[in-house]
Amino acid sequence: MAGSEQGSKGPGRRYSTFVGVAFLVLIVIATLNTIRTQSGGTLGVSGGNRGVPLSEFAVPNALPPGPLDKDANIAQDDCSTAQNPCPSDAQRTPACEIPKRGAIRICDFFNRPLVLSFWFTRGANCIPAQDALNEIAPKYKGRVNFLSINVRDDPASVRSIAQEHGWSIPVGYDRDGAVSDLYRVGGCPTLAFAYPGGILAFAKAGNADISRPSDDNPGLAALRAGLRADVNTLLRQARAREEASR
């Protein structure tokens, strides 16, 4: 099953108002992904997109045995209001309404605060942040959902990396980079932090943006410390939003 026990039993429904952008494909080696958007900048890092609904998507679940030969579904839930990406005939099944079997649907994680992490291995050092995220996730069980998305790596490598590192958080596979495009992922790792209901709170891009290094807290420990601080910030902000809405 795709949604993992961290997600809700059914999709968190809300109309997506995320307005899409045209995408520009760049081939960049080193710390950049192969895809960026014309608007530039990772979604939510600069603050301009904070408070918008996360775009809906469904991706293959990378952890169970079986072929990873399907592309992501990024069709939104309401073609009358969502411009990106909505087919002209409006016939494609929305991402959050496809069957759960073999898939991970982002809406199934909207019942709690969410940490959504994108990573890849081409010319980037993303794995330590994924290790750190997996290590802190159990401390927030029942309070925060975690989802890891690999972008365009070899499917066998994705599965073997997750197994070798003992990751327990759900791992989805964005084979063609469609979800990466949608979220304007340019660097690695990229993490989006969202309130319940799938509303973007803030985002971080790159190990330096995540880490909290000190003489006594280098490397992986600094990533863990930074991620814990970010998740705690997300929880505080989510509680404040809930109290303000009462």
Q: Specify whether domain 23-245 bears CATH 3.30.70.2080.
A: no
- Counting every residue written for the chain, the total comes to 246
* Cα dihedral 75, 81, 84, 86 in deg (nearest 10): 40
- What does the buried/exposed string (b/e) look like for 76-115 if buried means 16 or more CB atoms within 10 Å of the residue's CB? bbebeebebbbeeeeeeebbbebebebbbbbbbbbbbbbb
Q: Is 134's pLDDT higher than 90?
A: yes
Q: Which residues contact 75 (CB under 8 A, 6 or more apart)?
A: 56, 85, 86, 87, 92, 93, 94, 95
* Cα dihedral 181, 186, 190, 191 in deg (nearest 10): -50
Q: Are 137 and 171 in contact (CB under 8 A)?
A: no
Separation CA 47–CA 67 (nearest Å):
38
Strand, coil or helix: 158: helix
Domain-wise residue ranges, the chain: 23-245
Q: What's the confidence (pLDDT) of residue 23? A: 27
Q: Is 160's pLDDT higher than 80?
A: yes
In tens, the pLDDT along 19-31 reads: 232 222 222 322 3
Q: Is 136's pLDDT higher than 80?
A: yes
Q: How large is the average pLDDT for residues 183-192? A: 91
Q: How large is the average pLDDT for residues 206-219? A: 80
Q: Across all residues in the chain, what is the average pLDDT?
A: 81
Strand positions, DSSP E, the chain: 23-25, 35-37, 58-60, 103-105, 114-119, 145-151, 171-174, 190-195, 199-205
